[in-house]
Amino acid sequence: MAVIDSLRRNFVELAWFAFAGANLAAMELWPSWETIPFHFIWISLTLVYGFRIWNPKPTGIVLGLVIAGTGSLILSDAFAGSQLWGELFEVPLMSAMFLAMVWHARRRQDAVRRLEREAAERAALLSQQKRFLHDVSHELRTPVTIARGHLEVLRRLNGKPAQEIEVALDELGRIEHILERLLLLAKSKQPDFVVPEDVDVQAFLEDVLVRWSGTVPRAWRLGDVAPGTLRVDPEALRIALDALIENAVKYTEAPDGIELSARQSGGDLVIEVADEGQGLPPGESERIFERFARADTARSRAEGGAGLGLAIVDAIAKAHGGSCSAESAGAGTAFSLRFPGFASAAAVGSARRAGLAVPS
Ligand SMILES: Nc1ncnc2c1ncn2[C@@H]1O[C@H](COP(=O)(O)OP(=O)(O)OP(=O)(O)O)[C@@H](O)[C@H]1O
Ligand SMILES: [Mg+2]
């Protein structure tokens, strides 16, 4: 079994040895034509080496064998008078060409190995960082919950409202929010991060808007919504829209408007959250999707942001094979979430009328 495996692994080398042997025999049998098999041997050696890049020792042995084999045959033919003595120069010339190829191939191989090593180190570091973030967020949840429990007991015992307790509870709430988002981000590369199902877009967006409009005074609007169903994880979509609307609320003031809309773009659905707030500083519309990125640090910190909301929106869109982007022309910002897997109600209706099978 081991012999068969080794033969299979070294198939290219074995085939080349057979080929080179046959060409050596041809050199021996037809001395006046020996230049053709001679070059076949050297060119095939260079080609095989390009694929396999042997270690220096076997490379030296093979090169020595080829020099000895081809050189001795030309030498004996030169003595016999069937070849010119000058043909012997071909051997060192071919060796030099082969060594140049060896040098290039090894340089390239070293560079590739270095890149692979660096990529593996980066991947290990990244996964270590992710595990660390996940573990820290997980471990911090319990003490935060315990602290919240004690503060709530204190509030009850106190009888009357105490500002210190309220501030501490507020801060704990922020920590819980950040931990929740960190845990979500740590999970975002897992295969079960999103579990898509068919979601009625219109009903879903109306529900999101009603939930927010009841709590925050803004000019809430539901713009045009393409009727149809979207193949999406409803919980993940809710988290993404909440993060966008939470930002829209943070960076607007009553009575600024916030509009939610959805349009079809080919087989995709583009959901847009647009506000009439202060807008984004120029050149920030891509960077803000990075973790812990805030466009205007002082302003965002005053708003209590950690810079994780848009990173989560981005992770959710990408987990569905979609994307997200931001546009801001001075005043107001519009965030677009593009999701594949949209089935327009109009298309489904006309397919049904035409008698085609439509998945329910
Ligand atoms: N609607 C918006 N209008 C203006 N700026 C925005 C808007 N949405 C996001 N930004 C800018 O993008 C930055 C990143 O937003 P992101 O939601 O990731 O973080 P955050 O809101 O600061 O914190 P977190 O969401 O973690 O509480 C914000 O700090 C803000 O500077
Ligand atoms: Mg945010």
Do 268 and 338 meet the contact criterion of CB atoms below 8 Å apart?
yes
Q: Ligand 1 pocket, 300 CB below 6 A?
A: yes
Confidence band (pLDDT; 50, 70, 90) for 304? low
Ligand 1, atom 21, lies closest to the CA of 305
Range scoring the smallest mean pLDDT among 30-34, 110-114, 266-270, 355-359: 355-359
Do 257 and 310 meet the contact criterion of CB atoms below 8 Å apart?
no
Atom of ligand 1 nearest to the CA of 177: 27
Ligand 1, atom 9, lies closest to the CA of 247
pLDDT of residue 83: 84
330 alpha carbon, closest ligand = 1
Atom of ligand 1 nearest to the CA of 303: 22
Best mutation site among 178, 310, 324 for ligand 1, i.e. most ligand atoms within 8 A of its Cβ?
A: 310
273 alpha carbon, closest ligand = 1
Q: Ligand 1 pocket, 333 CB below 6 A?
A: yes
Q: Ligand 1 pocket, 34 CB below 6 A?
A: no
Closest CA to 271 of 326, 339, 206: 339
Confidence band (pLDDT; 50, 70, 90) for 214? confident
pLDDT for 235-276, tens place per residue? 999 999 999 999 999 999 989 999 999 999 999 999 999 999
Rounded to whole angstroms, the Cα distance separating 173 from 65 reads: 77
Q: Ligand 1 pocket, 252 CB below 6 A?
A: no
Assign domain 197-346 to its CATH architecture.
Answer: 2-Layer Sandwich (3.30)
Rounded to whole angstroms, the Cα distance separating 242 from 314 reads: 13
Q: Tell me, what amino acid is at 323?
A: S
Confidence band (pLDDT; 50, 70, 90) for 215? confident
Q: Does the pLDDT at position 162 exceed 90?
A: no
Q: Taking every pair of C-alpha atoms in the chain, what is the biggest distance, in angstroms?
A: 118
Do 307 and 291 meet the contact criterion of CB atoms below 8 Å apart?
yes
Compute the distance from residue 308 Cα to the ligand 2 centre, in Å: 6
Compute the distance from residue 309 Cα to the ligand 1 centre, in Å: 7
Work out the average pLDDT over 202-228.
Answer: 94
Compute the distance from residue 246 Cα to the ligand 2 centre, in Å: 6
Closest CA to 38 of 27, 25, 49, 48: 27
pLDDT of residue 331: 83
Rounded to whole angstroms, the Cα distance separating 310 from 328 reads: 15
Compute the distance from residue 23 Cα to the ligand 1 centre, in Å: 72
Residue spans per domain, the chain: 1-187, 197-346
Atom of ligand 1 nearest to the CA of 335: 1
Give the mean pLDDT of the chain.
Answer: 90
Atom of ligand 1 nearest to the CA of 312: 18
Compute the distance from residue 138 Cα to the ligand 1 centre, in Å: 24
pLDDT for 49-78, tens place per residue? 988 899 999 999 999 999 999 999 999 999
Q: How many other C-beta atoms lie within 10 A of the C-beta of residue 213?
A: 17
Compute the distance from residue 246 Cα to the ligand 1 centre, in Å: 9
Compute the distance from residue 281 Cα to the ligand 1 centre, in Å: 12
pLDDT of residue 358: 45
Q: Ligand 1 pocket, 308 CB below 6 A?
A: yes
| 74: phi then psi, degrees, rounded to nearest 5 | -65, -40
Atom of ligand 1 nearest to the CA of 277: 3
Rounded to whole angstroms, the Cα distance separating 259 from 274 reads: 5
Best mutation site among 137, 296, 300 for ligand 1, i.e. most ligand atoms within 8 A of its Cβ?
A: 300
Percent of residues in the chain assigned helix, strand, coil, to nearest 5: 65, 15, 20
pLDDT for 329-349, tens place per residue? 778 999 999 999 999 887 655
